[in-house]
Structure 1
Amino acid sequence: MDLSNAASWADTLAVFDLETTGIDIDTCRIVTAHVGVIGVDGQVLEQREWIVDPGVEIPTAATLIHGVSTERARLEGLPAVQGVVEIIEALTDAANRGLPIVAYNAAYDLSVLDREAQRYGHEPLRSPAPVIDPLVIDKAVDRYRRGKRTLTATAAHYGVPLDDAHNAGADAIAAGRVAQAIARAYPHLAATAAAELHSRQVDWCREQAESYQEWRRRNGEPEFTTSGRWPVR
């Protein structure tokens, strides 16, 4: 098989990222979002960005990460009920065009979006697929690499610039470019259909969660549990 042109799933990608008020998928709220499209060389073809007024105070710790304060969100942001539906519509449009949706640690971003849809009575993003999660894939193909697996660290490993981490646009675009770099580095993944790769990630994420849970339990937390559901928990 000639693999040189096999990475068709990586040629054009939708990219998605959220910045939020916290880390709990059931309670945190969207503050900023990016949905875009990148081309085969990682060039930005389309982009939409949102600042959202989450309707709650943005904790100082979150502001220090993404730079958006409660005051700025109230002044510049869309009401959450409007912003959430626009984000869902943008992702639905990308999916309807047959574009894989790339999100780094997708189970976080897509789960937050799902909970926000429920919160405001919107129709959730229906069965998002195919989703490409560079975090899950990288852990599967390079399991024993030492060091952090943050987007910043993983981008550096694959030679992808990320100059403005925790900016939703910068993170979304970098995640897409990391996905493309992984496709170049691992030809067998490049040759895998996006739908099949999505299915593999379901299994990989479950296995990774089980392994992490076992490690935590062996190291002094016998009651620790974590979910391996993917891409929506």
Structure 2
Amino acid sequence: MSIVPWTRKPLVGLDFETTGLSVDEDRIVTGSVVRWGGPLLTQVYTWRSDMGGAEISADATAIHKITTEAARAAGRPAAEVVAEIVALLSEFASAGWPIVVMNAPFDLTMLERECARYDVRSLWDATPVVLDPWVMDRHLDRYRKGKRTLVALCHHYGVKLEGGAHNSEVDAKAACGVAWKIGNRYPRIGREDIGELHEMQAQWARGMRQEYLAWQMERLGTCDETPYDWPLIPAPQGAGT
């Protein structure tokens, strides 16, 4: 029996725009889940949260162009938004479709912290499989020079950014496009069982993290001790909701 490659099945893109860059303290502003590729038409689901009363940093607004006032005016209660995102992702994960997230530890950890904050069941109860274009590209073409941002990867793999980056819907679609291109450019990866590929990415990401810490120690005499894992960063010890 031939196995259908994951590149011929639906992918589920996920992306958030947030109040800042701290996965433990910042909040989701907008979120998009995109069912992309395979034999089905693309479907887009987008939410805007009221952030539970939090404020968007000036740096974050400069990137995604959403102000605190605009988010609060248009946003729905954060707890409802988080619960709906998790429910939809869990449904797709149960169907066996991988969740594609660029730089997965940021978005997935942000979502997990929001779940804890609002007492929403964890996405990990559904045992999702994750594809991270950043990790796959960095491992498969590790000596290529240049940036590895989503915009840079889209340019490298020939994926069109519809409307520009730093929009959750656009970025979720683009991440799927890059993952699909990687799977086709590297047939060994495209034919890999997605569960096995998930574990392979975890090993690659941890290895790259260790290399980065060693580089920091050699060049700077110190290294970043922030907790890290892929695809989910462990919660700080003693952290509450």
Residue 225 of structure 1: how far off its partner (Å): 2.6
For residue 202 of structure 2, what is the amino acid of its counterpart?
Answer: V
1:135 maps onto 2:125 in alignment? no
Q: For 1:224 and 1:8, how far apart are their aligned partners in 2?
A: 35
For residue 183 of structure 1, what is the amino acid of its counterpart?
Answer: G
Question: 1:183: which partner in 2?
Answer: 183
TM norm structure 2: 0.90
User: Contact 2:7/2:184 (CA < 8 Å) preserved in 1?
Assistant: no
TM norm structure 1: 0.93
Q: For 1:49 and 1:76, how far apart are their aligned partners in 2?
A: 12
1:46 maps onto 2:43 in alignment? yes
Residue 228 of structure 1: how far off its partner (Å): 4.3
Which whole-Å deviations, capped at 9, do the CAs of 1:101-131 have from their partners, x for residues lacking one? 0000111100000001101111111254211
Residue 8 of structure 1: how far off its partner (Å): 2.9
Q: For 1:223 and 1:167, how far apart are their aligned partners in 2?
A: 32
User: Contact 1:210/1:228 (CA < 8 Å) preserved in 2?
Assistant: no
Which whole-Å deviations, capped at 9, do the CAs of 1:12-60 have from their partners, x for residues lacking one? 101100110111110110000001101138x852110011111211112
Residue 227 of structure 1: how far off its partner (Å): 4.2
Q: For 2:76 and 2:41, how far apart are their aligned partners in 1?
A: 24
Question: 2:230: which partner in 1?
Answer: 230
Q: For 1:129 and 1:93, how far apart are their aligned partners in 2?
A: 10
Residue 11 of structure 1: how far off its partner (Å): 2.6
1:211 maps onto 2:217 in alignment? no
Question: 2:151: which partner in 1?
Answer: 152
Which whole-Å deviations, capped at 9, do the CAs of 1:61-95 have from their partners, x for residues lacking one? 11111111111111100111111111111111111
Residue 10 of structure 1: how far off its partner (Å): 4.8
User: Contact 1:207/1:228 (CA < 8 Å) preserved in 2?
Assistant: no
Among 109, 112, 116, the alignment partner of 1:111 is 109
Q: For 1:7 and 1:177, how far apart are their aligned partners in 2?
A: 15
User: Contact 2:112/2:122 (CA < 8 Å) preserved in 1?
Assistant: yes
User: Contact 1:11/1:40 (CA < 8 Å) preserved in 2?
Assistant: yes
Structure 1, 118-127 or 23-32: larger mean CA deviation: 118-127
| Aligned-CA RMSD value | 1.7
1:37 maps onto 2:35 in alignment? yes
- Distance change in 2, residues 1:70/1:44 (3 Å): farther
1:87 maps onto 2:85 in alignment? yes
Instruction: Tell me the number of residue pairs that the alignment of Structure 1 and Structure 2 aligns.
Output: 229
Q: For 2:41 and 2:19, how far apart are their aligned partners in 1?
A: 27
User: Contact 1:21/1:31 (CA < 8 Å) preserved in 2?
Assistant: yes
User: Contact 2:7/2:183 (CA < 8 Å) preserved in 1?
Assistant: no
Alignment of 1:61-100 (within 5 A): 61-100=59-98
User: Identity over the aligned pairs, expressed in percent?
Assistant: 40
User: Any gaps of 5 or more consecutive residues in structure 2?
Assistant: 234-241
Q: For 2:91 and 2:104, how far apart are their aligned partners in 1?
A: 18
Structure 1 runs (4+) deviating above 4 angstroms are none
